[in-house]
């Protein structure tokens, strides 16, 4: 396997506060990598850095190409879909408009139409809610919409920022099951940031543990799951 995303020596700061201190991590082609860590560890910043939304130093290689320093709009065009913290849906627009916006950069009408049907297969509820304002959806439906919108880009890499946040357990299971299907059937690679460690470790093949801006542990997901310190700190038994 080769790396689709390779991050080396990544540093990021907001104003004078440094948030990431030389982070190295990678996502394999077709793989799912998860970043575990507590609040404020820098998980969200890491995802935002990949998308060019924070100032960084260090290098970010995507499909063999340097993407650090590029504008967010250009990074997105390379096939990186980002499901941001807080979902980032356009609440005043309809569900359908949100999905159309997901495919904003794509020219091939046929493929977009196929993807439109595809995301509705994954999330049938979005078809029922087609004309509804996104802001009127439930939290779970909004998260589905956010993922569906990112899929409308036809991404090679999906960045997911706490997809389980604030959702009922049953909805979380459903969403994670769909993420697994998307990964297995379409080969979309994923970088998933999660606080729910057991869930994330079930899904991912590789995991990193981020603590106050530094990677303190990394390895295959199963190995990390077996790690006593991780189990105590992040899984909780």
Partner 1 sequence: MESFLQQVVSGLATGGIYAALALALVMIYHSTNHLNFAQGEMAMFSTYISWSLINAGVPYWIAFFATLVIAFAGGVVIERLIIRWVEDAPVLTVVIVFIGLLMIFNSVAGWIYSYDIKVFPSPFPDQPIQIGTLYLGPHDVGAIAVTLIVLAILFLFFRYTSLGLAMRAAAENPESSRLVGIRVGRMLGMGWGLAALIGAVAGMMVAPIVFLDPNMMAGILIYAFAGAMFGGISSPGGAVFGGFFLGVTENLAGSYIPFIGNELKLSVALVIIVVVLLVRPSGIFGKVTVSRV
* Neighbour count for residue 74 (Cβ, 10 Å): 11
Question: Which residues of 176-235 form beta strands (DSSP E)?
Answer: 189-194, 206-211, 214-220
79 binds partner 1 (CB under 8 A): no
* Neighbour count for residue 215 (Cβ, 10 Å): 21
102 binds partner 1 (CB under 8 A): yes
Among 3, 41, 46, 51, binds partner 1 (CB under 8 A): 51
Q: How far is the CB of 229 from partner 1 (least distance, A)?
A: 35
Q: Which of residues 198-217 bind partner 1 (CB under 8 A)?
A: none
Among 90, 212, 218, 227, binds partner 1 (CB under 8 A): 90
Q: How far is the CB of 80 from partner 1 (least distance, A)?
A: 9
Q: Are 51 and 72 in contact (CB under 8 A)?
A: yes
26 binds partner 1 (CB under 8 A): no
Token reading at 213? 């801006």
Q: How far is the CB of 83 from partner 1 (least distance, A)?
A: 9
For partner 1, give the closer residue by CB, 92 or 170.
92
Among 8, 105, 133, 233, binds partner 1 (CB under 8 A): 105
195 binds partner 1 (CB under 8 A): no
91 binds partner 1 (CB under 8 A): yes
Which phi and psi (to 5°) does residue 216 adopt? -105, -15
77 binds partner 1 (CB under 8 A): yes
**C-alpha closest to that of 167 among 190, 212, 203, 199:** 199
Look at strands 214-220 and 206-211 and give their pairing: antiparallel
In angstroms, the first-to-last Cα distance of the chain is: 34
What is the rounded CA–CA span in Å between residue 230 and residue 156?
30
Q: For binding to partner 1 (CB under 8 A), which residues are involved?
A: 51, 53, 71-73, 76-77, 82, 84, 88-93, 97, 100-102, 104-105, 149, 153
């Amino acid at each position: 396997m080769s790396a689709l995303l390779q991050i080396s020596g990544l540093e990021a700061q907001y104003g004078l506060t440094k948030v990431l201190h030389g982070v190295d991590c990678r996502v394999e082609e077709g793989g799912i990598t998860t970043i575990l860590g507590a609040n404020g560890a820098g998980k969200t910043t890491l995802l935002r850095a990949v998308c060019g939304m924070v100032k960084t130093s260090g290098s970010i290689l995507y499909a063999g190409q340097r993407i650090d320093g590029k504008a967010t709009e250009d990074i997105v065009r390379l096939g990186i879909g980002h499901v941001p913290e807080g979902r980032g849906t356009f609440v005043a627009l309809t569900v359908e408009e949100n999905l159309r916006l997901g495919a904003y950069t794509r020219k091939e009408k046929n493929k977009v139409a196929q993807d439109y049907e595809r995301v509705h297969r994954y999330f049938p509820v979005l078809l029922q809610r087609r004309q509804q304002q996104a802001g009127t959806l439930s939290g779970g439906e909004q998260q589905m919409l956010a993922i569906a919108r990112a899929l409308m880009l036809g991404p090679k890499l999906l960045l997911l920022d706490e997809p389980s946040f604030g959702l009922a357990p049953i909805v979380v299971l459903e969403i994670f099951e769909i993420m697994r299907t998307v990964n297995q059937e379409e080969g979309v690679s994923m970088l998933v940031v999660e606080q729910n460690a057991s869930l994330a470790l079930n899904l991912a093949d590789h995991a990193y543990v981020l603590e106050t801006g530094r990677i303190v542990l990394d390895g295959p997901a199963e190995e990390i799951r077996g790690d006593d310190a991780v189990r105590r700190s992040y899984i909780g038994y």
